[in-house]
Structure 1
Amino acid sequence: MEHHHRQPTADAGLLSEGKRATAENAADGTEAGFAVDGRDDTHWAGAPYYVWWQLDLERVCRVERLRIETEAGTEGVATYFIEHSRDLLNWDTVVEKTERRKSDAGGEQYETDFEARYIRVTLTYCSTGETVGIRHFQAFGRALAEREPAAASRRSPLKFAAVSYDRAQGFESAETDEIETGRTDRVVLSGEAGSYLLYRGVDFTEGGVDQLRGEFGFADLDKSKRVTLEVRADDLRGEKIGELVLFKQWKRWSVLAGSLKHENPALLKGVHDVYLTLASVDPGQALMIRWLAFVRRTPLPAPRPKPAALPAPENGEYRIYFGNLHSHTGFSDGIGVPEQAYDYARYEAGLDFLAITEHSNLYDHNLDWNRSRKWADIQRTAEEKTEDGAFLALFGAETTWYNQFGHMNTYNMEFFLNAYETELNEIPAYYDIVKRYPDSIQQWNHPWSCGNRHLDGFEPYDPELDEVLHLIEINTIESKELGGLYYYVLALDKGWHVAPVGSQDNHRGQWGTENTLRTGVLVEKLTREHFFDAVRHRRVYFTSALHLHVWFKVNGAIMGSIIPRTGELEFEIKALFGPESGSRIVKAEIVGERGEVLHAIEHDGRHLEYKVSLTCESRYFFAKIYQEDGEFAATAPVWVNNE
């Protein structure tokens, strides 16, 4: 977008000064209106970046020029995008500054030509810190003559207000101020099964649709209380083209989506009357709807093949690096920004790697992975912050279920999966997708805090899923059963080939210093290629004992291996503390099925090398090494194949 600093034409008046402004949040001493008060000594500020600021011109205007001066000034760098809307539902981008260059004095001006009532600025980066701000925002143009508002378009993929129905039975209109700061919205509401809404002339277009999206709210915040919404074409009892099982997610209001499908493709193309019917409503629940949209879902990318295993080091010895595979920033529900997180982990915490794994339901465009600027920005930042041999800046996404199933991290995937797509609340549907991506990495997160389902107890065992499900979290701080290993052992006993990891799941910053939990990875070189190769082959272990290096072998095969059974098994444990630690190793154990200790070694020293031959019938074995205060490392197993 061209920018320059000419004054606006004489007949293009200043539209913005004194108009009502709102913002996603505001720092102390600032408020949204300060950005349009015309004063040089005030400004609006918010944090972290990706925070939005919004202006209401009070009526539809033709906007011919925009001027923006951010708080980064001429010394810092800020990026942003500017959108406009008539209805607060459908937004078009008119300006996007992505180049990280300094601004001239007076900021940037942009020639424009659009009609809108609302203008929104989203600040996407600031070189001076996570706080962003606007000192001046001006919109120039002219107010348009008052006229009857045009009927909202029901053409895919536009959103339209749920209150714009043509007929309703059992639904009533209501108002809520809970959706967005500083705004009251009209919604429709019903808690009665059999209630319906009719929208005539919905245009699925010749390209067709396969998904209904909407912003849904729930009168009762109990997540177990569900509403089933049926979608039928052309008649109240016409062909069912969709069914959404809806329930309260993280907050009362969420944008949710459900699949539309039918054996007759004509029902998903062209123009149709659409009936939405509440097929069932749990007692005490009521469904609220703000808007609806019929869309074609973003397709998933083509799978990549699983890479061939990298050869072992020539000397047979892997190096060990430590880090954290589960963390958050203010890009979802943590604090700070990715740039800060990676730098803190490397330079303050001394980690060798950090993965940022934001909740996928909290991304911008969380139903369209290819449109999410945050998702793209994390990947770009990770590339900038990675230095092979010194630090790996990794990224993933945490798929977060609120149906008491649990949470899972995905890594080495181009896209993220969001359980706000209602069909993914049927967990086999989610697993069936990740199984199609053989080069991906999957991790079961904090099973001890996953509601009453605890990842469904890792049942049923699925050998195809086992090929991509590599990791499971351990937390000795929050999960005490079996010394913190209960869920790890449970998964192993059910046949899964998973390695244990220590994650901090940071939500309050302190990436790497919040506690002593770490993940150790055995690699020849600290590169992404070697890192993911190690994870796929389970050369990974958990430790709450800082700087504890552990190598565990059975019959010469390193942790994570699958070997044939022999009459006697040769076990080898090598463990030592790095020079940063003053701790001592006091005990080591060889552990088998059900967490049974098969062999124990008493010790007192910084370095342990131990070999023993045992005859054991367990299907797997892992090592557990203790420091003097009871903190320990637990390795991935070596599995023994009886065939």
Structure 2
Amino acid sequence: MSRRLPCLLLAVSTLLPAPLLPLPAAAGVADHREFEATLYAPYRGEAGERRTFTLRFGYPGLPAATQVSWTLELTRSGASIPGSVLRRWQGTTAMATQPVETKVEWDGTLPGGEPARGTYTVHLHAALPDGTSDDQSWDILTGAPPAAHPAPLAAAAAAARRKQAFDLPYTVYYGNLHSQTNHSDGGAEVTTCTGAQDPQTGLYGPGDAYTYARAHGLDFLMTSEHNHMYDGSDGTNAGADPGWSRMLYRSGLTAANDFNTTHSDFVALYGMEWGVIGNGGHLNILNAPELLGWERNADGALLADLYTARGDYAALYTLMRQRGWIGQFNHPAFTGQFQVNGVPLAYTPDGDDTIALCEVLNTSAYSRKVNEDETSRHGYEDACNRALEAGYHIAFSSSQDNHCANWGASYANRTAVLIPRGRRLTTDNLLEAIRARRVFATMDKTAQLVLTANGHLMGERFASSGPLRLEVRHASSSDKRVATVAIMEGVPARNGKVAQLSAEMSATIAPAVGEHFYYAKVTQDDGSMLWTAPVWVTQKPAQNP
């Protein structure tokens, strides 16, 4: 890969009347200052079902050492917490500026020494003294895989190898919609990457990222640069040239367009990750031709194309709806993020129209893995469910948030989109599929998962009366089987809890009159999980004969 930013400086400097290059500020960790706990729970155990759970705690930019209090609980899969807790481990772990790990050993038995057989959920709750907390849950399997879910049909597996979505008229494409380059705080050489870079000091730019991702089998990649780092600072660079910031953003759009012009088998997207985490929340804007921002230099000049107030998500959603832009909630949290009138993950009609995706899974943003074997990953299904219950029509996505130069290679997770068969893979067709929520999230790039409801494809909104038949379709081109399945049900605008409706691949139900949404998730026999987009159903009273 080439070192693109110096070349870019030469190109841009010829266009600016008085080039003033931004100066790096402090280390680029402030925008990522958030407590995060991850849990690695091996899906299959060793001899006697013994296994080691790995608890990892990190807090970039932590001002002082602290103690993490944690509780790890084992329940039968689908059981509520608290309630049917079979095993519990508790402890404290000292944490400073660098991530720390704690190992918890389990001998594979239940209380009284009974060997465990079946499917279980391991739940981690971690908290800091100030009340900040994080929760993670993963399923594990002990004993032989359940026999309730048959292997995929040979025809479905063959279709998956061709990226055909079963007998449906769609082709499946796999990619990553969340990554950074040296246009903000990414693009570091893998061998030396230890975290976020000082803005615009990384080695590699968007063109390098697209080349790398395509070479590693991705069908699309978005480089999503932090919108407030185009001045070369994680704070505010008082001496920044607004012309530089705007030209740098345009150069990224040009890089994506140039790559798409010369590569018909790949879609390069360039855009921004808007906002900050502390009292904010990151969201990707997938298709904005203008740089949005709130920072100004010492002369009061806006360091962006268009002013947007920091933290004003309601106004941002309105602007996005007016411009036809598409968004994604990145690594959402329950508290302090995406607030409107003080309510986190608050619903607005404009937000509902524009936010199409919610990250259900993210791998470590600073992973240095290049063989897709990263074990540090974080789930956000509960937060995405809260947004669904608030009324958002969002599909699940699965991202890597790469800051090192390993775009798409840290793990095998992907966001998958369904494009009508016969249409080419283009930027417009990709964005149209995302708008339609024809998306599933997967930890396995060789697998497919689709949900239909009375023949309607996931992502659709429709009215129904009478019975509703929900069908889950799974296929694997690497011969993985479904170990467990859950069809989930919720109610838009209820602001309640999403609950499991069925543990089978199909279910026929009689919904109550009113609004509902349903989605499916499966765990394969290798522990990889997949999530469909929801379907939204308005259930009408049954018609009289």
Q: C-alpha offsets along residues 289-324 of structure 1, whole Å, 9 cap, x if unaligned?
A: xxxxxxxxxxxxxxxxxxxxxxxx9x8521111000
**1:225-244 correspondence to structure 2 within 5 Å:** none
Instruction: Give CA deviations for 1:579-619 in whole Å, capped at 9, x if unaligned.
Output: xx343322322111233221113xxxxxxxx5442223471
Task: Give yes or no for the alignment of 1:453 onto 2:453.
Answer: no
**Could you say which structure has the higher helix fraction?**
2
Are the equivalent residues in 2 in contact too, given 1:49–1:337 (CA < 8 A)? no
Q: Which residue of 2 aligns with 1:555?
A: 454
The alignment's TM-score, normalised by the length of structure 2, stands at 0.57
Name the counterpart of 1:613.
Answer: 508
Secondary structure in 1 matching 2:179: coil
Is residue 338 from structure 1 mapped to residue 206 from structure 2 by the alignment? yes
Q: Are 1:447 and 1:473, in contact at CA under 8 Å, matched by a contact in 2?
A: yes
**Structure 1 residue 317 corresponds to structure 2 residue 212:** no
Residue 444 of structure 1 corresponds to 329
Q: Distance in 2 between matches of 1:477 and 1:327?
A: 11
Q: Name which of structure 1's ranges 509-518 and 420-429 shifts more when overlaid on structure 2.
A: 420-429
Contact 1:419 / 1:425 at 8 angstroms: preserved in 2? no
- The aligned counterpart of 1:500 is 396
Aligned to 1:49: 6
Aligned to 1:613, the other structure's residue is in SS state strand
Report what 1:467 is aligned to: 353
Residue number among 383, 390, 398 corresponding to 2:257 in the alignment: 383
CA displacement at 1:514 relative to structure 2: 1.2
Question: Cα distance, 1:379 vs. partner?
Answer: 1.5
For the residues of structure 2 that align with 1:399 and 1:369, how far apart are their CA atoms? 19
Give aligned-pair identity as a percent: 28
CA spacing shift, 1:412–1:470, aligned 2, 3 Å: same
Match of 2:219 among 346, 352, 361: 352
Q: Given that residues 370 and 415 in structure 1 are in contact (C-alpha distance below 8 angstroms), is that contact kept between their aligned partners in structure 2?
A: no
Structure 1 residues 48, 553: closer, same or farther in 2, change over 3 A?
A: same
Cα distance change, pair 565–361 in 1 and its aligned pair in 2 (3 A): same
CA contact (8 A) 2:488 2:498 kept: yes
**1:395 Cα deviation after fit:** 1.4
Superposed CA deviations along residues 513-559 of structure 1, whole A, max 9, x for unmatched, are: 11222101011231222111111111111111231112211111111
Structure 1 unaligned segments of length 5 or more: list them. Answer: 1-44, 53-77, 84-90, 95-119, 123-176, 182-220, 223-312, 602-609
From the two aligned structures, give the one with the greater strand fraction: 1
Instruction: Confirm or deny that 1:329 pairs with 2:181.
Output: yes
Residue 169 of structure 1 is matched in structure 2 by none
1:445-465 C-alpha deviation (Å, 9 max, x unpaired):
1113x9x50323654321232
- CA contact 1:474–1:542 (8 Å) conserved in 2: yes
- Among 357, 373, 383, the alignment partner of 1:487 is 383
Query: C-alpha distance in 1, partners of 2:293/2:393?
Result: 25
Distance 1:428 1:80, change over 3 A: closer
Secondary structure (helix, strand or coil) at the match of 2:503 reads strand
Displacement of 1:481 in angstroms is 12
In 2, Cα distance between equivalents of 1:444 and 1:351: 21
Q: For residues 3 and 467 of structure 2, what CA distance do their matches in structure 1 show?
A: 64
Partner AA of 1:487 in structure 2: A
Q: Is residue 21–residue 241 contact of structure 2 (8 Å, CA) maintained in 1?
A: no
- 1:592 and 2:489 equivalent? yes
State the distance in 2 between where 1:616 and 1:480 align: 39
CA distance in 1, matches of 2:322, 2:482: 43
State how many pairs are aligned: 344
Structure 2 gaps of 5+ residues are 28-62, 65-164, 188-203, 233-239, 296-306, 365-374, 491-496, 541-545
**Matched position secondary structure for 1:520:** strand
In structure 2, the partner of 1:536 is 435
Distance 2:327 2:436 in 1: 13
CA distance in 2, matches of 1:425, 1:352: 33
Residues 515 and 367 (structure 1), Cα distance of their counterparts in 2 relative to 1, 3 Å cut: farther
Determine the C-alpha separation between the residues in 2 that align with 1:564 and 1:641.
5
Alignment correspondent of 1:257? none
Q: Following the alignment from structure 2 to structure 1, what is the Cα–Cα distance between the partners of residues 220 and 429? A: 13
Q: Is the 8 A contact 1:364 1:374 kept in 2?
A: no
1:202-251 deviations in whole A, cap 9, x for unaligned? Answer: xxxxxxxxxxxxxxxxxxx99xxxxxxxxxxxxxxxxxxxxxxxxxxxxx
Q: Larger relative CO (CA 8 A, sep 6+): 1 or 2?
A: 2
Distance across 2 between alignment mates of 1:328 and 1:476: 14
Q: Deviations over 1:174-199 (max 9, x none)?
A: xxx99699xxxxxxxxxxxxxxxxxx
Partner of 2:292, secondary structure, is: coil
Question: Contact 2:275/2:310 (CA < 8 Å) preserved in 1?
Answer: no
The answer to whether residue 406 in structure 2 is matched with residue 521 in structure 1 is: no
What is the one-letter code of the residue matched to 2:474?
Answer: A
- Structure of greater Rg: 1
Q: Give the counterpart letter for 1:600 in structure 2.
A: A
